[in-house]
């Protein structure tokens, strides 16, 4: 079911944004017509956590949008890994999508700094 959350409510689970993805979203995002696919959130320890759509959420934040279009994702996700990602974000003072400002990196750096880190964590038993 599609719902709306205040933009500062879901906790991000990602430390970086890819410049390539950002350029793509900027090319079509229209804050006056929120027809983007809903962003996936899960409930983790009583809190909504954004698990997909960080770039779209960040662009919405830049555009001054007050609410995000979300869907409660009930699939079987690696909650332990997402919990670890949330810990990393909190350690980096990333508590809202607006906090991702200054965390934009090239696609290569995104893969090296973020995706590889997640793969290592999953292999170590973090999800």
| pTM for the full predicted model | 0.91
Map the chain to HEC letters.
CEEEEECCCCECCCCCEEHHHHHHHHCCCCCCCCCCCCEEEEEECCEEEEEECHHHHHHHHHCCCCEEEEEECCCCCCHHHHHHHHHHHHHCCCCCHHHHCCCEECHHHHHHHHHHHHHHHHHHHHC
Query: The CATH number of the domain where 34 resides is what?
Result: 3.90.1530
Condensed to tens digits (0 to 9), the pLDDT of residues 32-47 reads 887 788 999 999 999 9
Number of domains in the chain: 1
Condensed to tens digits (0 to 9), the pLDDT of residues 64-95 reads 999 999 999 888 888 899 999 999 999 999 99
Find the domain containing 43 and state its range: 2-126
């Amino acid at each position: 079911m599609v719902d709306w959350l205040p933009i500062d409510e879901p906790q991000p689970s990602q430390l970086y944004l890819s410049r390539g993805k950002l350029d793509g979203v900027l090319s079509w995002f229209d804050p006056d017509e929120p027809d983007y696919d809903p962003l996936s959130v899960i409930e983790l320890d009583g809190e909504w956590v954004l698990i997909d759509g960080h770039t779209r959420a960040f662009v919405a934040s830049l555009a001054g949008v007050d609410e995000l279009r979300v869907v409660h994702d009930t699939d079987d996700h690696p909650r332990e890994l997402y919990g670890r990602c949330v810990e990393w974000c909190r350690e980096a003072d990333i508590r809202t999508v607006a906090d991702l400002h200054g965390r934009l990196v090239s696609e290569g750096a995104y893969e090296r700094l973020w995706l590889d880190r997640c793969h290592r964590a999953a292999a170590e038993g973090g999800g």
